[in-house]
Amino acid sequence: MTLTASWSGGGGGWSILVHGGAGHGAHQKGPETETGCRLAAQAAAELLGRGGSALDAVELAVKLLEDDPNYNAGTGASLTVEGRLELDASIMDGRTLALGAVCALSAFKNPVLVARKVLESGRHVLYAGAGADRFAREHGSFPVEENSMITDGARQRLAGYLVDLKSATEGAGTVGAIARDASGSVAAATSTGGLVGKQPGRVGDSPIAGAGTYADDTAGAVSSTGHGEGILRVALASSVIFALRAGSTPEQAASSALTMMQRRVASTGGLIVVDRAGRLAWARTTPSMAWAAVCDGATHSGG
């Protein structure tokens, strides 16, 4: 069964919606993950309320979630089977279709900030591994001590995976944000540590346009979460964008895309969506997904 919710903005104003990951684990439930989403959404809402751009808003929201150890992004991110960090992130501007992404990035505190620098540099869209590290250094970001970003929770999740390999199919708190600003532009950003116990070099959906992230002012913006392999196989974000262009509401587009993914590749996940009118929706086919939204000045949140 797909669970959904939606809100309609008034008069074409700004709106923001964030998620803290769709999945099955206990680490994705509880007041901490909902509170973190609410604080990130409210900070981004303050920026939008001052006339800030959707692109700056989603970058800020995801940065705050990367700094929160309760999520699988930045500090607290899931570990590879070798106990290392390999981080993925992307950010996209719906006004220009500019996109920046990194994957298999080492211990840089805020991968979304590196992705934003990729977007602004304009030459390439996606950097991987050692190339992503080098790009980050050359553009003013520097790695931190890896152990400073690895939490006890991440170590425990890896230990659990090594005992029961089935846990690798579960999401683990990927974070994302979508927004529409007062000028009518949309943006999306997503950040993750990927699957618990993933093989070194594995890349999921989060840094891939049309799978984990997409934004286009002619349709809307999307951030995905869940089983990355399944999301990649069905190009989940693209499915939502196509439905929005065809006239579906955000709620309809999100629900139908997740239902399709579950039917076609037996994968579960979650989505947050904003359309070009500023209407918001989330949907999930998992037991939990932390989220928070601010629309017309009112804050909504849940798990």
Look-up of token digits 């990951």 = 21
Indicate if the pLDDT at residue 216 is higher than 80: yes
The rounded distance, in Å, linking the Cα atoms of 102 and 117 is 10
The rounded distance, in Å, linking the Cα atoms of 33 and 270 is 15
Look-up of token digits 């989330």 = 282
CB count in 10 Å sphere of residue 112: 32
Indicate if the pLDDT at residue 169 is higher than 70: no
Question: Tell me: the pLDDT tens digits for 28-57?
Answer: 456 889 999 999 999 999 999 999 999 999
Q: Which residues are catalytic?
A: 174
Q: 281, 187 in Cβ contact below 8 A? A: no
Indicate if the pLDDT at residue 165 is higher than 70: no
Q: Which range (126-135, 213-222, 290-299) has the least confidence?
A: 290-299
CB count in 10 Å sphere of residue 123: 6
Using alpha carbons only, what angle is made at residue 187 by residues 292 and 65, rounded to the nearest 5 degrees? 40
- Is the pTM for the entire model greater than 0.85? yes
Indicate if the pLDDT at residue 7 is higher than 80: no
Q: What is the DSSP string of 6-22?
A: EE--STT--EEEEEEEE
Q: Which amino acid is at 229?
A: E
Q: Which range (11-15, 138-142, 289-293) has the least confidence?
A: 11-15
Q: SS3 for 294?
A: strand
Mean pLDDT of 148-165: 91
Q: Which range (8-22, 173-187, 267-281) has the least confidence?
A: 8-22
Positive or negative: CA dihedral 100, 103, 108, 112: positive
| pLDDT score at 27 | 47
Mean pLDDT of 234-257: 97
Pairing verdict, β 126-128 and 99-105: parallel
| pLDDT score at 2 | 80
Question: Tell me: the pLDDT tens digits for 9-29?
Answer: 654 689 999 999 997 654 445
| pLDDT score at 151 | 96
The token pair at 49 is 């309320």
Burial class (CB in 10 A: 0-12, 13-18, 19+), 229: middle
The rounded distance, in Å, linking the Cα atoms of 245 and 10 is 21
Mean pLDDT of 286-301: 91
The rounded distance, in Å, linking the Cα atoms of 71 and 33 is 7
Q: What is the DSSP string of 98-158?
A: -EEEEEEE-S-S-HHHHHHHHHHH-S-SEEEHHHHHHHHHHTT-----GGGT--HHHHHHH
Average pLDDT, rounded, for the chain: 93
Q: Which range (59-73, 95-109, 149-163, 246-260) has the least confidence?
A: 149-163
Higher pLDDT among residues 12 and 61, named by residue:
61
| pLDDT score at 26 | 47
